[in-house]
A and B are shown apart, each in its own frame.
Chain A
Amino acid sequence: MSDQRLDIEEIGSVTVARFLDKKILDEANIATIGKEMIGLVEDDGRTQVILDFSLVEYLSSAALGQLITMDKRVKAAGGTCILCNIQKDILDVFKITQLHKVLTLATDLDDALGRF
């Protein structure tokens, strides 16, 4: 079985990274996801990135930290990082922590693609 935590798809100049885990909880998984996300920017030079949460039912605050780090890296490279397809329970977590004002959120993939 592959250890890959992200499914990567190219749509034009935009990279769509879809989380494959339903629950982003385990410390080791979160670290792996962080490395894969950062690798998109720093190893592959991708700066137009959509993170697709359609499969994700739960994430911990440690995972939020990885998203903030990813957003910073993309912005530092002059790019844009957009999160989409976030289920309501998880969207509540973003709102409670006010991260919906720091990160760029879109309702679905079409909405996200339309912002580039």
Chain B
Amino acid sequence: MSESLLDTQIPSNTTKGLEVQEQIIALMEKHEYSMRDVFAMRLSLEEAITNAIKHGNQDDESKLVTIHARIGEHGLHIEVTDEGEGFDPDEVPDPTSGDFIHRASGRGLMLMRAYLDNVCFIEGGRKIVMERTRNSELPIVEDDDE
């Protein structure tokens, strides 16, 4: 099966964001990706699109979020771009450290890094590039004493 492409722009609205997520998930199912891959990408798409809408575009519906998705036999490549001021991902605190673990938000970036084979920010943080290979072993979760 040849790769599937999805290119779209949405206003800064999380309901519209969910619709795009579902379109990409439907393409993954068409390409017979595993439930594990679908879980990983649903989580990553949710975090990336929500971040673009809320933190990037500040919920301003006049600003757009642009999504390019390429779903192939061997993996996915997805780009999400907002029209905000950008940010430095290195300045995002570790959500597991100190008091941050008790905060209600701030875990999206950590989760994306755990579930994706490649995640990087370009264009001053306004664009996130996400890649996951089919049947990736990620996330690596340590079983500890709980």
Contact surface of A with B, Cβ cutoff 8 Å: 25-27, 58, 60-62, 64-66, 68-69, 72, 89, 92-93, 95-102, 105
A25-B18, A61-B47 known; A102 vs B102 contact (CB < 8 Å): yes
Report whether A65 and B139 are in contact in the complex, using a CB–CB cutoff of 8 Å.
no
Known contacts A26-B18, A89-B36; A96/B139 CB under 8 A: yes
* Centre residue among B47, B101, B104, B142 by max chain A CB count within 10 A: B104
Stretch from B2-10, B67-75, B84-92, B107-115 that touches the partner: B107-115
Q: Size of chain B's interface in residues, with CB distance under 8 A?
A: 27
Provided the pairs A60-B50, A61-B108, A89-B39 are in contact, do residues A97 and B102 lie with their beta carbons within 8 angstroms? no
Q: Is the CB of B50 within 8 A of A62?
A: yes
A65–B105 contact, CB under 8 A? yes
Determine which of B103, B104, B108 lies in contact with A66 in the assembled complex, contact meaning CB atoms within 8 Å.
B104
User: A26 vs B50: C-alpha distance in the bound complex, in angstroms?
Assistant: 11
- A60 in contact with B102 (CB, 8 Å): no
CB distance A68 to B102 under 8 Å?
yes
Complex CA distance for A98 and B142, rounded to whole angstroms = 10
